[in-house]
Homo-oligomer: A and B are copies of this chain.
Amino acid sequence: MLNRIRELRKTQKMSQELLANKCDVSRQTINAIENNKYDPSLVLAFKIAAILDITVDELFQFQLAESKSEEDSNEK
């Protein structure tokens, strides 16, 4: 599940910390989500979308059949 949080946050010249404050989560949470460590809860997804002035459907790119394996790019 990819997202456009970083892109939109930067457009609005907002730091991870400011965005985190606005949606009442820790800075690390925003960082982890931007870096696809995990997906936000549904409530947090709605909060972020509201703050970035976009819909949840537009903010996240869901693709059916997302494999559960460690696919990221965890290697140095």
Chain A residues within 8 Å of B, Cβ to Cβ: 1, 39-43, 45-47, 50, 55-57, 60, 62, 64, 66
- Given the interface pairs A56-B57, A57-B57, the reply to whether A62 lies near B41 with Cβ below 8 Å is no
Taken together, the copies of this chain in the complex come to 2
Q: Which residues of B contact A60 (CB under 8 A)?
A: 42, 46
Q: Which residues of B contact A47 (CB under 8 A)?
A: 64
Q: In whole angstroms, how far apart are the Cα atoms of A57 and B57 in the complex?
A: 7
Q: Which residues of B contact A42 (CB under 8 A)?
A: 1, 39-42, 45, 60
Q: Which residue of B lies closest to A55 (CB)?
A: B57
Task: Sample 16 A-B pairs with CB under 8 A, ordered by A number.
Answer: A1-B42, A39-B41, A39-B42, A40-B42, A41-B41, A42-B42, A42-B60, A43-B62, A43-B66, A45-B45, A46-B60, A46-B62, A50-B64, A55-B55, A56-B56, A57-B57
